[in-house]
Amino acid sequence: MAEPVTLAVLGAAVLTEGITFLYGQATELLKRRRERKDQAALVTPAADDPVLAGRLEPVPVDERVLEERDEELITLTERLGSYVHGIRPVDPANTELIAQVEALRSLLELAYRQRITFRGEEREPAGSQVDVVATAKRVDGLLVAARIDSVRGGRVNVDVDVEEVGETGTVYGFQGRTLGG
């Protein structure tokens, strides 16, 4: 969900709340994942937090993202802990901090399959729009960039770039039933 950095325009108070929100979401996600054995799939907690511009909808978490990027999620969460606990001051001009917050938000957006937008940011509201980018040199099987079996709102943007589709290859940018209500 790459886009221009919007967090740097937020004031320190909203940025602090945003960092705390992301830290809490990531920590809870990591804890629930670690404790989960044969339970049902993890679900994004519905979040109607005042720091958000919009609302996160309760949807299944993308387990593949957690599996492939859990060390990165842990590292980013640990790095932001000192800001959450007031050990370090939050400064919107700190480009390293902004980059870490953006990276954590991007990971959570991938796992939650929805935007996380803070009040005061100029971007789509939280809970809306899923952006998918898929790049492949060659496809000889099936490539589905976005498969949706319900959502009832929001938008999906799919960008698929395939250099070559083999004789047995099939590429779908979007496949599924229902997106909007």
Residues 94 and 138 in one domain: no
Between 96 and 45, the higher pLDDT residue: 96
Single-letter code of the amino acid located at 108: L
This prediction has a pTM of: 0.65
User: Which of residues 58, 78, 112 is at a domain's end?
Assistant: 112
Q: Please report whether residue 181 resides in a domain.
A: no
Read off the pLDDT of residues 42-61 as tens digits, 9 standing for 90 and up: 666 666 788 999 888 888 88
| Chain mean pLDDT for the chain | 81
| Per-residue pLDDT, 38 | 44
| Per-residue pLDDT, 101 | 95
CA separation for the pair 129, 155 (Å, rounded): 4
CA-based nearest residue to 15, from 78, 101, 76: 101
The answer to whether residues 134 and 159 touch, using CB atoms and an 8 Å cutoff, is: yes
Residues 73 and 142 in one domain: no
Residues 90 and 152 in one domain: no
Measured between alpha carbons, how far is residue 5 from residues 134, 167, 174 in Å?
A: 22, 41, 27
How much is the average pLDDT of 121-133? 76
State the total domains in the chain: 2
